Amino acid sequence: MSENTVIELKKLTKRYGYGDTESFALKDFNLTIKRGEFIMIMGPSGCGKTTLLNIIGLLDRDSSGEYVLNGEDVASISSKRQARLRAKKIGFIFQNFNLIEDLPILENVALPLVYTGYTKTARLKNASNALKRFHLQEREYYFPYQLSGGQQQRVAIARAIVGDPEIILADEPTGNLDSRSSHIVMEELKAIHEEGNTIIMVTHNPALTVYATRVINMLDGHIDTDIKTVSDANLPQPINVKIMKKKSKKNRRKK
């Protein structure tokens, strides 16, 4: 495994039901993802795209197979450890934004940092910086319902990148947006990708594949086509200075 590999899936299987009702969302699924890839996963409904994303995002577990994240086998780790990894290494972007309605957007963005041991000041500072990037800084204390769909999705993207994750998972991020907002959101994702972030995105919209470095078509739980538009050598790589990393050493919860 080359050191640029972020994710390696080997013979991944996700089974639902037993006996007569047995069905497979994923069957013997193999995939290797390199750092800096922007992968678009396409395919008809029910082909296992979302299941794949949930398993990669450690929200779901595979039935059998191997999942190596950053060189660590995470297929059978404890759910507590899974939660830790979600907080530190994975950023989620959802179709319906999934912001907490009762919290101002600044605290929504700071949410992943709550569970990784940042002090409150550091949390809000990082969140503020992330929002600034999406030109939402002056609306820090707005609540999600006071923002448009496009703005809410940008808040969600800010939340996904605030913890400086290894991979960003997006499940139809433009699905609920008009074309103008979609365009803005895609441009933001593109900018994030160009800084060397790895993005895996599920979409139904073939027009968006122009942003991708790799397009995977799925069918019935396996890869139908897998096209790379950018060679591995030309993938953007992360510059190591990104978001301010100030953790309070004393209060850090680490084994």
Partner 1 sequence: MSLLIKTHLKLAKTAIKENRTRSLLTCIGIAIGVASIVLILSLMGSISNLIRNEVNNIGGDLIVVRPNSTKDSITSVIEELTSSNSFQKSNLTISDVSAISKVENVAAVAPIAVSTNTISSEKNTFSSVSVLGTTDDFIAIEPFALKFGSFFKDESEGKTVVLGSTLSLALFNTINSTVGKTITIMGEKFMVIGVLEEIEKSINFDNVDFDNAIIMNINELNEVTGSTQIQQINIKAANTESLPQISADIESAIKDNKLGDENFSVAYGDKITHPASSLFAIISGMLTLVAGISLVVGGIGVMNIMLVSVAERTHEIGIRKAVGASGRNILMQFLFEALILSILGGLLGLMLGYVLAFFISIVTPFAPYISLGILALTFTTTLAIGIVFGIYPAIKAASKNPIDSLKHYR
| The one among 9, 26, 87, 155 contacting partner 1 by CB under 8 A | 87
Query: Exposed, middle or buried by CB within 10 Å (0-12, 13-18, 19+), for 52?
Result: buried
CB of residue 68 vs partner 1: minimum separation in angstroms?
A: 20
Say how far apart CA 200 and CA 202 lie, in whole Å. Answer: 7
Strand ranges in 4-147 using DSSP code E only, listed in sequence order: 5-16, 23-34, 38-42, 64-69, 72-73, 90-93
Among 92, 127, 173, 208, binds partner 1 (CB under 8 A): 92
Q: Is 48 in the site for partner 1 (CB under 8 A)?
A: no
- Tokens 């991944």 sit on residue: 12
Smallest gap from residue 1 Cβ to partner 1 (A): 26
Kindly tell me which of 94 and 142 has the beta carbon lying closer to partner 1: 94
Q: How far is the CB of 149 from partner 1 (least distance, A)?
A: 16
Mask for 55-84, x = binds partner 1 (CB under 8 A): --x-xx------------------xx--xx
Among 23, 148, 225, 248, binds partner 1 (CB under 8 A): 248
Phi–psi pair at 76, nearest 5 degrees: -130, 30
Q: Which of 69-77, 109-117, 174-182, 236-244 is the region at the interface with partner 1 (rule: CB under 8 A)?
A: 109-117
What part of residues 113-142 is at the interface with partner 1 (CB under 8 A)?
Answer: 114-120
| Non-local CB neighbours of 187 within 8 Å, separated by 6+ positions | none
Give the separation between CA 159 and CA 167, rounded to whole angstroms: 13
Cα–Cα distance measured from residue 53 to residue 170, given in angstroms and rounded to the nearest whole number:
8
Q: Supply 236's token pair.
A: 């953007």
170 contributes a contact to partner 1 by CB under 8 A: no
DSSP state of 118: -
Residue 94, interface with partner 1 (CB under 8 A)?
yes
Which residue has 């990148």 as its token pair? Answer: 161
* Sign of the CA dihedral with 55 first, then 57, 59, and 65 last: positive
C-beta closer to partner 1: residue 51 or 213: 51
Residues that bind partner 1 (CB under 8 A): 54, 57, 59-60, 79-80, 83-84, 86-88, 90, 92, 94, 98-100, 102, 111-112, 114-120, 159, 163, 248, 251, 253
